[in-house]
Amino acid sequence: MKDNSFLVPERVEKDELLDREDVDIDSAVESFNDLRRINYYLGGIGVYKKALFRILRNYPRDQALSILDVGTGSGDLSAEISHWCSKQQIDAAITGLDIQPRFLQLAQHRHTANGQLQLIASDALNMPFQDNSFDIVISNLVLHHFYDRAENLLNEMFRVARDAVVVNDLSRHSVPLLFFKIFSPLFVRSPVTRYDGEVSLRRAFSYSEIYRFLKNSSFSNYKLMRHWSFRFGLVLWKTKW
């Protein structure tokens, strides 16, 4: 799935430090703090608000909404989505899933006041849920970790979703890579984030790659959206209401 544009660097597969089971927890905390700022200012939460609005604008407000956040990490985005839903007067119960129990302990510590956030330790490719268990299944900066198994991940998320899957991820391109190399010392504090940030940008799908992947996949009802910060939002519809 090669992209021939000269503005799209060749994809490089490397492990990210946060993927390692032996990553120092204090270093992980510092990196998650970086990611929370990056998601806030460079499109993470913005992509979700845009994509979720497309789904929720016609969603019945008189019933509770269940959301599963796959690869929740420190739970920061789950908590942000929960807060946003509250402001929109949407009754939402959010479950965060991650393969690393230490990250879930961190999420529990950071968000103990959020009674709507439940946490589950599990492999994203084999989730312990029945079909159609959650109204909406979301993921943030997770898909590029499963580049060669993207369809497996999306199929599993689709399986447990009742109505839709919402994915937010990076788009591989020279511009954000150059921006990150030049400016990351100004807004990134953790060495883990500096390393993982560049690796993530080199591991991600380009926009044309994800578009071609979707065209050749089994998914027929989807919406792919570009975001200004070289991210993309993807909605896989299971039902429409």
Helix H or strand E segment including 104: helix 101-110
Q: Which two tokens stand for residue 152?
A: 């497996």
Q: Which two tokens stand for residue 158?
A: 């689709």
Could you tell me the domains of the chain? Answer: 22-237 (3.40.50.150)
Indicate the pairing of strand 117-121 with strand 134-140: unpaired
Distance from C-alpha of 143 to C-alpha of 230, rounded to nearest angstrom? 15
Predicted pLDDT at 141: 92
Predicted pLDDT at 109: 87
Whole-structure pTM value = 0.91
Predicted pLDDT at 5: 73
Predicted pLDDT at 54: 73
Predicted pLDDT at 240: 62
Ranges of the chain whose pLDDT falls below 50: none
